[in-house]
């Protein structure tokens, strides 16, 4: 479906695969112009770019790959500048770029912790600093943050750097929500559960650099480490589809300004994050957030999600 006058111009970061790639396609099907932020478009991710191009041709979708590395401010600035040069506006930013690591917390160096924060937290700040001046000038916009139920739900071991970074990103998103609202900019946090299929989080996860310490933990926890993905999969219904996260993003974009819920949980395993968020979000200052967005879980009424 081609973009029309009602379509929005959207940037999705981390769009080479998984939730990012699915979101690009779901948004394009809804009639939007979508820029897929992908790093190393001519080398490592050239296949992903080719697949996106084919999708656009086959479905007459207005999709475009744009070189974007969230760890580089120059790269982010260039991507946003290109979108404005080509379209004259930017309506929605989907913060999806992220990196997972898997292993004993002690075995990760401080530099590795910092690298995970750089992608998952500082990356969103770089994108915001590039995009928000233009959104503020427009007087409208939407920031969609792809979070994780691990921020407040059940947290299995051996994912500490990733979980810590996702929790930090969530805190940043909540603070931004109140700060950008007076400029006409909405915030929506999408909270996926532990989908074990449909993404390459575990396959692409980084490992601890301190192999000696990692081995000490492996001796005690090897059965748990080897079966972590399988153990998580047992908690997820067999019909769980990570594409539901992308569809939730598309529904949020379609909603009227000022009516979007602060959080939308897509968690087939029901790990408790939704319950904790309902309590944690309740004290949000009513003078900063509209009343309908402070009393969670209002999102259940505003954005129904089919339960598993």
Extended strands (E) in the chain: 9-12, 33-38, 63-67, 92-95, 141-146, 185-192, 263-266
Calpha distance 198→157 (Å, rounded): 22
Euclidean distance between the first and the last CA atom of the chain, given in angstroms as a whole number: 30
Q: Is the peptide bond before 297 cis (omega within 30 degrees of 0)?
A: yes
Q: What's the order of all strands across the beta sheet hosting 33-38?
A: 63-67, 33-38, 9-12, 92-95, 141-146, 185-192, 263-266
Q: Which residue has the tokens 């047992």?
A: 234
Q: Check: CB of residue 11 under 8 Å from CB of residue 83.
A: yes
Is 162 one of the annotated active-site residues of the chain?
Answer: yes
Q: Check: CB of residue 92 under 8 Å from CB of residue 140.
A: no
| Selected catalytic residue, list 35, 162, 176, 217 | 162
Assigned token pair, 233 = 């999969």
Strand partners, 180: none
Would you name the residues annotated as active-site residues?
A: 162
């Amino acid at each position: 479906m081609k973009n029309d006058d009602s379509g929005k111009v959207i940037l999705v970061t981390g769009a080479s695969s998984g939730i990012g790639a699915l979101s690009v396609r779901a948004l394009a099907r809804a009639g939007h112009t979508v820029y897929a932020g992908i790093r190393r478009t001519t080398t490592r991710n050239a296949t992903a770019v080719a697949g996106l191009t084919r999708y656009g041709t086959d479905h007459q979708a207005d999709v475009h790959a744009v070189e974007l590395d969230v760890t580089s401010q120059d790269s982010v600035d260039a991507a946003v500048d290109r979108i404005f040069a080509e379209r004259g506006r930017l309506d929605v930013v989907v913060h999806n770029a992220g990196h997972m690591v898997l292993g004993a917390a002690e075995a990760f160096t401080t530099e590795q912790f910092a690298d995970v924060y750089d992608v998952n937290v500082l990356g969103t700040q770089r994108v915001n600093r590039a995009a928000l001046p233009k959104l503020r000038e427009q007087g409208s916009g939407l920031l969609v943050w792809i979070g994780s139920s691990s921020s407040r739900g059940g947290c299995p071991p051996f994912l500490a750097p990733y979980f810590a970074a996702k929790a930090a990103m969530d805190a940043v998103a909540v603070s931004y929500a109140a700060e950008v609202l007076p400029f006409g900019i909405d915030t929506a946090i999408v909270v996926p559960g532990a989908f074990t299929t449909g993404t390459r989080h575990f396959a692409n996860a980084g490992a601890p650099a301190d192999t000696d310490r990692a081995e000490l933990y492996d001796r005690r926890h090897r059965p748990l480490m080897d079966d972590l993905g399988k153990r998580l999969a047992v908690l997820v219904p067999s019909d769980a589809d990570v594409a539901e996260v992308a569809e939730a993003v598309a529904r949020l974009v379609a909603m009227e300004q000022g009516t979007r819920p602060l959080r939308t949980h897509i968690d087939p395993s029901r790990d408790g994050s939704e319950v904790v968020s309902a309590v944690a979000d309740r004290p949000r200052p009513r003078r900063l957030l509209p009343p309908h967005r402070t009393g969670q879980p209002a999102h259940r009424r505003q954005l129904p999600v089919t339960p598993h």
